[in-house]
Amino acid sequence: MKHLLSLRETDAADIRRILETAAAFKEILRRPVKKVPTLRGKSVVTLFYESSTRTRTSFELAAKYMSADAVNIAVAQSSVTKGESLKDTLRTLEALTADCVIIRHSSSGAAHLAAQCVRIPVINAGDGRHEHPTQALLDILTIWEHKIVGREDDTYPRALSSERPFDLRGLTVAIVGDLAHSRVARSNVWGLTKLGATVRWVGPKTLLPADAHQLPVRVHTRLEEALEGADVVMALRLQTERQEKGLLPSLREYSRIWGISPRTLRYARPDALVMHPGPMNRGVEISAEVADGEGGIRAAIEEQVTNGVAVRMACLYLLMGEMMGAGE
Amino acid sequence: MEQRQVMDAEEMRRAITRIAHEILEKNRGAQNLALVGILRRGAPLAERLAAIIEQIEGVRVPVGKVDIALYRDDYPERQPVVGRTEVPFDINEKAIVLVDEVFFTGRTVRAAITALVDLGRPANIQLAVLIDRGHRELPIRPDYVGKNLPTARAEHVAVLLKEIDGEDCVYIRKPGA
């Protein structure tokens, strides 16, 4: 594994390797001193062409907990505004002796282009409508913890993943909402199905991607049908500008038909886990009661964020090791 | 590959029992004592020592395990699989006995000490090993040794444990032969 660009191109063995490493790294996050010396003297650059709080902070903290130096480039204040191309920006970062670049861009395929420009590893932190692999990996880690290990199992994190393999066969994950614009939904389809889970997509017809039939996913148009028997319900963020573009009649109607609330959650299994990649529009795609896990509802939204740090530590560890000629 | 058995299950059992007695003698009992095995094969050895100490003293000492993958000094050359550090007790002010199967260059133990002090400040750290095969490269020496085994640097010492390998024995393997 040289880069992490998409889960479509990452095989199941590498996905499992990242998840196993991430599960081991969670222990570091619980220490009084959250730092290991492994990536000392290495530098990680986050290059974000789109706004982000959690993903960028998560990558920066992951790098710092591994003792790497993390530098953030705020594109709005950079030479990109002077017209520098993506290729030249990346070559400059490499010449500045960066050891890894994490890129977010509004164009699908930007991370692949970046990877062709430089010799250092590139991690895709979201490219257009294409993929957001680390988000899907943290979602899968969270699903594994809840559905395979069990939150009540006090042997975790002691239970080795060899005893609790990353095998999701028999699990059904329903992803609800704006699928046409969601790179999170796409990465999750590839990652989850490679580990054996069944994935269903459901949302208004105007928000379904045209190529959904080419993906290993079952597409539904009624929420009740998609949620029936689901072990995991993942609500996607609805970008409010979609309504302005005429894809939705109103947010209120969207919320009533597609919003995850205690009422609609009744279609899923009683122990269904609710997830959301954030940031949430409370009262639109997810109700406040569900988001806060009230009344026995299982929501894992904050755990997802914590797992994101562990997953990104694992990605940095594995990719920066490969770069130095290690690995198999 | 030529291999020669240097310890059988019974010899291993006696050596581990003796180490348990020595640990108790030196620490004047099991008060304030804790064992930490270095993954992978140090971990079951630490469990065995704790079981013997419990038989002798009637006290169950805390047992942990530490993974040193993130603390190695050879990370750029080899990228080890990360195991799970698990020290489910407060190590501050405790007497910690690190446990490993083979003592060779001392670099593993150096890494384990660094990993341990990241978790707190023990009163002291001691080292118990089943085999001391020589060739140390750092000023570190074990406090408790099951067997001193002179070896050539190119030889490989394999400690097999029932918990991991299904049997208890120690082999020396000569390369190439």
- Put simply, the answer to whether A25 touches B82 (Cβ < 8 Å) is yes
Which residue in chain B has the smallest CA separation from A327? B79
Q: Which of A28, A35, A326 sits opposite B76 (nearest CB)?
A: A326
What CATH number is associated with residue A225? 3.40.50.1370
Q: Which of A36, A66, A158 sits opposite B84 (nearest CB)?
A: A158
d(CA A180, CA A252): 20
Q: Is the ipTM of this complex over 0.90?
A: no
Per-residue confidence (pLDDT) for residue A163, from 0 to 100: 67
- Minimum distance, in Å, between the CA of residue B88 and any CA atom of chain A: 10
How many A/B residue pairs have CB atoms within 8 Å? 58
Per-residue confidence (pLDDT) for residue A327, from 0 to 100: 38
Which residue in chain A has the smallest CA separation from B64? A158
- Put simply, the answer to whether B79 touches A326 (Cβ < 8 Å) is yes
Helix (H, G, I), strand (E, B) or coil at B145: strand
**Pair A218, A180 in one domain:** yes
pTM: 0.87
Nearest to A174 by CA among A191, A153, A199: A199
Query: String of b and e for A248-268 (b: at least 16 CB within 10 Å)?
Result: beebeebbeebbbbeebbebb
A6 belongs to a structural domain:
no
d(CA A33, CA A28): 8
Residues of A in contact with B120 (CB under 8 A): 32
A80 belongs to a structural domain:
yes
Q: Is residue A259 a contact partner of residue A284, using CB atoms and an 8 Å limit?
A: yes
Q: Which of B79, B83, B86 sits opposite A327 (nearest CB)?
A: B79
- Put simply, the answer to whether A157 touches B75 (Cβ < 8 Å) is no
Residues of B in contact with A20 (CB under 8 A): 81-82
Per-residue confidence (pLDDT) for residue B82, from 0 to 100: 82
Q: Which of B75, B119, B120 sits opposite A321 (nearest CB)?
A: B75
**Pair A209, A279 in one domain:** yes
**Pair A203, A155 in one domain:** yes
Q: Which residues of B touch A (CB under 8 A)?
A: 67, 70-71, 75-79, 81-86, 114, 118-120
Residues of A in contact with B68 (CB under 8 A): none
Residue type, A237: R
Query: Out of 3.40.50.300, 3.40.30.10, 3.40.50.2020, 3.40.50.1110, which CATH number does the structure's domain B11-74+81-152 have?
Result: 3.40.50.2020
- Put simply, the answer to whether A36 touches B77 (Cβ < 8 Å) is no
Percent of chain B clearing pLDDT 90 (strictly above): 85
d(CA A223, CA B110): 57
Q: What is the pLDDT along chain A (328 residues), one digit of tens a residue?
A: 899 999 999 999 999 999 999 998 998 998 888 999 999 999 999 999 998 889 999 999 999 999 999 999 988 777 777 778 999 999 999 999 999 999 999 999 999 999 999 999 999 999 999 999 999 999 999 999 999 887 555 555 544 555 678 999 999 999 999 999 999 999 999 999 999 999 999 999 999 999 999 999 999 999 999 999 999 999 999 987 777 778 888 889 999 999 999 999 999 999 999 999 999 999 999 999 999 999 899 999 999 999 999 999 999 999 997 544 443 3
**Pair A296, A267 in one domain:** yes
d(CA A51, CA A76): 10
B78 pLDDT higher than 70: no
Domain that holds residue A286: 134-300
Per-residue confidence (pLDDT) for residue B79, from 0 to 100: 66
Residues of B in contact with A31 (CB under 8 A): 118-119
Residues whose CB falls within 8 Å of the CB of residue A268, separated by 6 or more in sequence, listed in order: A174, A227, A228, A229, A230, A231, A233
Q: Which residues of A touch B (CB under 8 A)?
A: 20-21, 23-25, 27-28, 31-33, 35-38, 66, 157-158, 160, 317-318, 321-322, 324-327
**Pair A255, A180 in one domain:** yes
B69 pLDDT higher than 60: yes
Of A79-83, A284-288, B123-127, B138-142, the poorest mean pLDDT is in: A79-83
Of A9-18, B62-71, B77-86, the poorest mean pLDDT is in: B77-86
Interaxial angle between packed helices A301-323 and A133-143, expressed in degrees from 0 to 180 and rounded to the nearest 10: 120
**Pair A202, A266 in one domain:** yes
Cα angle A84, A87, A91 (rounded to 5 degrees) comes to 100
- Minimum distance, in Å, between the CA of residue A325 and any CA atom of chain B: 7
Give the CA-trace dihedral at B19, B20, B23, B29, to 10 degrees.
Answer: -160
**Pair A295, A314 in one domain:** no
d(CA B104, CA A230): 53
**Pair A268, A168 in one domain:** yes
- Minimum distance, in Å, between the CA of residue A28 and any CA atom of chain B: 9
Domains contained in chain A, number? 2
Higher pLDDT: A190 or B84? It is A190
Count Cβ atoms below 10 Å from residue B156 Cβ, excluding itself: 15
Q: Which of B71, B82, B120 sits opposite A24 (nearest CB)?
A: B82
Give the CA-trace dihedral at B8, B9, B13, B16, to 10 degrees.
Answer: 60
| B156-160: strand order across its sheet | B2-7, B169-174, B156-160
d(CA A74, CA A50): 9
Count Cβ atoms below 10 Å from residue A167 Cβ, excluding itself: 14
A43 belongs to a structural domain:
yes
- Put simply, the answer to whether B76 touches A38 (Cβ < 8 Å) is no
**Pair A142, A280 in one domain:** yes
d(CA B25, CA A144): 46
Per-residue confidence (pLDDT) for residue A244, from 0 to 100: 74
A325 belongs to a structural domain:
no
d(CA A118, CA A322): 15
Give the model's confidence band at B77: pLDDT under 50 very low, under 70 low, under 90 confident, else very high.
low
Residues of A in contact with B67 (CB under 8 A): 24
Residues of A in contact with B85 (CB under 8 A): 24, 27-28
A143 belongs to a structural domain:
yes
- Tell me the average pLDDT across B3-13: 96
**Pair A125, A206 in one domain:** no
- Minimum distance, in Å, between the CA of residue A155 and any CA atom of chain B: 11
A152 belongs to a structural domain:
yes
Q: Which of B67, B79, B118 sits opposite A321 (nearest CB)?
A: B79
A264 belongs to a structural domain:
yes
Tokens representing A44? 């990680």
**Pair A114, A141 in one domain:** no
**Pair A145, A124 in one domain:** no
Helix (H, G, I), strand (E, B) or coil at B92: coil
Which residue in chain B has the smallest CA separation from A318? B79
Tokens representing A167? 């095998």
Residues of A in contact with B78 (CB under 8 A): 326
